[in-house]
Amino acid sequence: MKRDKIIYWIATGLLSALFVAGGLMYLLNYPRAAGFFTNLGFPNWIIYPLAILKFAGVIAILSRKSLFLKELAYAGFLYDALLALVAHVVVQDGEAMPAVLSLVFIMVSWRYDRKVFGAYTQKKKQTTPLNKISKASKLSKELV
What one-character DSSP code corresponds to residue 126?
-
Whether the pTM exceeds 0.75: the reply is yes
CB 4 within 8 A of CB 12: no
- Rounded Cα–Cα distance for residues 24 and 44 (Å): 16
Q: Which residues of 68-83 are buried (b: 16+ CB within 10 A; e: fewer)?
A: ebbeebbebbeebbee
pLDDT per residue of the chain (144 residues) written in tens, 0 to 9: 799 999 999 999 999 999 999 999 999 999 999 998 998 889 999 999 999 999 999 999 999 888 999 999 999 999 999 999 999 999 998 888 999 999 999 999 999 999 998 866 555 555 555 555 666 666 566 665
